Amino acid sequence: MEESDGAANGESGRDEIPPQKRKQARRRDKHTCQLCRQKAPEAGGVMRVEVHHKTYDPVDCDLHDLENLITLCRRCHHYHHNRPSNDPLPADISEEAESVLLEVDIEIIQLLMEEGPLTIDEIDERITADKARQSVKERLYRVMGLDNEIETQEVQLVDQDLHTGKWGIPYQIDEPERRIPDERQPIVRRTIDKIVQLGLERGYDRETIADIIGINPRTVYMYKYRSYAYDFPLEMFSGKGRPLKNGGGEINHEDVDDNFDMSEAQQQLDANAGESATAMDIGNNSDA
């Protein structure tokens, strides 16, 4: 099924994306909205998807180059084309970062600037979007990690307090959660997050990653966003990391199988890709 994107969706004829580029962008993005992850019929879903410019003034590529195109569902596409121009962004957000934000993300940032720090439940009660608590948490991770995910986003937009768990604008947070943990369990959790992120970047689908790691496929993207949010330096724990302050202790990760083996998961990912298992040799450190 070929969608007809273009002037009807807010682009002038001058800016209309060539049909071949649209096909290539949809194929690259697996006919899936890159914001809400809804799938088009070609990917087994029911959502209509469209191709959108990330920015109309790209710096390192041409307007219609694939790296400046993104596949979105009609709802997300409509928001980006029709948000009032006199509605200023509530923070220092680059154009590229803005292109991946949902309306609820902007609302959350504005809310935190005015009332933060807030708990997830407090945020959920105040935003107008009808979202489950888990969805709000996922969007918070997404916004928090944009400065690590998108090169043009130079500043961190939100942060989480290490002790209270509340979310706020970075200047509102006394001790940020974005750090290298001393405790065993957070290190294991962030290592798993990083494996999920790297797996997605290598092109694995979320079902494959979920099967290898032992998590629910619906949570895969939350793991990826949390990886960017906490910015865990995995290379420090690949044989050269610092020792834990409090060794031992029970790992209790609610989403991961009790018998989860990070080394085995990495080997399966590498075997599937035909790559060397030395790409991310972290196995022995899961029991450090």
Q: Looking at per-residue confidence, does 43 or 131 come out higher?
A: 43
Domains of the chain, with CATH numbers? 7-82 (no CATH), 95-172 (1.10.10.10), 184-287 (no CATH)
Q: What are the tens digits of pLDDT across the range 86-133?
A: 556 667 888 899 888 888 899 999 899 889 899 999 999 998 877 788
Q: What are the tens digits of pLDDT across the range 197-210?
A: 999 999 999 899 99
User: Hey, what's the torsion of the CAs at 54, 56, 61, 66, to 10 degrees?
Assistant: 40
Q: Looking at per-residue confidence, does 229 or 284 come out higher?
A: 229
Q: What's the CA gap between 161 and 172, in Å, rounded?
A: 9
Segment 240-262 shows an average pLDDT of 44
Using DSSP, state whether 140 is helix, strand or coil.
helix
Q: What's the CA gap between 90 and 101, in Å, rounded?
A: 12
Tell me how many degrees the CA angle 201-206-211 measures, rounded to the nearest 5. Answer: 120
- What residues form DSSP beta bridges with 69? 53
What is this structure's pTM?
A: 0.59
Q: Are strands 167-168 and 49-53 parallel, antiparallel or unpaired?
A: unpaired
Q: Are strands 49-53 and 69-73 parallel, antiparallel or unpaired?
A: antiparallel
What lies within 8 Å, CB to CB, of 215 at 6+ separation is 196, 223, 255, 256
pLDDT of 163 over the 90 cut: yes
Segment 208-228 shows an average pLDDT of 93
Residue 59 pLDDT class (50, 70, 90 cuts): confident
